[in-house]
Amino acid sequence: MSRSVAVVGGGVIGTAIAWQAARRGWRVRLHDPHFASGASWVAGGMLAPLSEGWPGEQDVLALGVASLDRWSDFGGTLESETGLELFTSSSSLTVALDSADAEDLRTIAEWVGEQGREMRVLNRAEVRELEPSLGRAVRLGLLAESERAVDNRLLVEALRRTAVTAGVEFADGPVHDLGALDADQVVLAAGTSSPKLWPGLPVRPVKGEILRLRTRPGATPPPGRTIRGTVHGRPSYLVPRADGIVVGATQYEAADTQVTVAGIRDLVADAEALMPAIGEYELHEATAGLRPATPDNLPLIGRLSEKVIVATGHGRNGILLTPVTADAVVALLEGSDLEDTRAADPGRFAGS
């Protein structure tokens, strides 16, 4: 008997779910009037749960690690089926510019180590040896060999292609009522728009601006790995791409996608503090997106009713959490659940 599912939301989360469900024999229709035009298009593409780890956030780390462990097979399958090269970095390096940040890196390394994951603390000379383009103010580094990065826009394209090949039908009309969808099951993966379709979901928009820089003839080559750091209390990252660097990211409690002068100023200044030669690059694009955030930094992955499953609220980790979310939703569709995502069950919030 044919089983049908309607997936609402065409970002990386929704498209990955649609692809995986179709591969398992579901008849899938993906609804989105503006496919992959939201946070998935703006993202930096870091897969960095270890570097963002902090004592007390065991559930956040465990979920991120569960998805990171899936990325090699998940991304490898997408690459083999499409011929696209998704991975842009094979490790990440977080650097400290002052003594307080250096102490934070030691705290992260110790705590993550206690959770069974290895990170390596590097002194100033070791950081310079790995990444000579970094600024001389760097005091300490924290290397995560297993953290990778992907080109988010190539990921969007790879997921679209594989979904089409698997038989997913794309519908570009807006959805106003989940109950009106003609399907056995419905998956709500509409990011910041999800509460409009299921009132009470604790998801809010958090604005983030990023820059895309392109190399120019004679410019210093981009770093070989993702570079992260904190400058004047603001988190900053440089993610390599085939043609340059992605610089991110600002964070505001706002719901507009306008790029501000102040945002660009801070992004450039912070990036220069990490890599002084960044000024040699072409400013190719400045973009803003809205991350779907929850109060506890964990997404919402689970059943809302017998017919509706939610997969949203991934905050700044939507790209990282794509494989584990797709696995969890397909498990729910087929009558089971996934141990790795139990902490993300929406039932932890009364409004859900």
pLDDT, residue 350, reads: 76
In this prediction, residues 176-205 reach a mean pLDDT of: 97
Find the mean pLDDT for residues 297-311: 97
Q: Are strands 282-293 and 204-214 parallel, antiparallel or unpaired?
A: antiparallel
pTM of the predicted structure, to 2 decimals: 0.96
Considering the chain, tell me which residue range(s) the CATH 3.50.50.60 domain(s) occupy: 3-54+152-201+295-348
Architecture of domain 3-54+152-201+295-348: 3-Layer(bba) Sandwich (3.50)
Per CATH, the homologous superfamily of domain 92-145+205-293 is D-Amino Acid Oxidase, subunit A, domain 2 (3.30.9.10)
pLDDT given at position 37: 87
Confidence at residue 351, expressed as pLDDT on a 0 to 100 scale? 58
- Per-residue pLDDT reduced to its tens digit, 205-225: 999 999 999 999 999 999 999
Rg, C-alpha atoms of the chain: 20
219-274 pLDDT tens trace? 999 999 999 999 989 999 999 999 999 999 999 999 999 999 999 999 999 999 99
Q: Is the pLDDT of residue 1 over 60?
A: no
pLDDT at 81 over 60: yes
Percent of the chain topping pLDDT 90? 97
CB of 346 closer than 8 Å to CB of 200: no
Neighbours of 232 (CB within 10 A): 11
Using CA atoms, how far apart are residues 133 and 135, in angstroms rounded to an integer? 7
pLDDT for res 60: 97
Q: Which of 48, 26, 30 is nearest to 321 (CA)?
A: 48
Residues of the chain with CATH 3.30.9.10: 92-145+205-293
pLDDT for the residue 144: 98
pLDDT at 352: 57
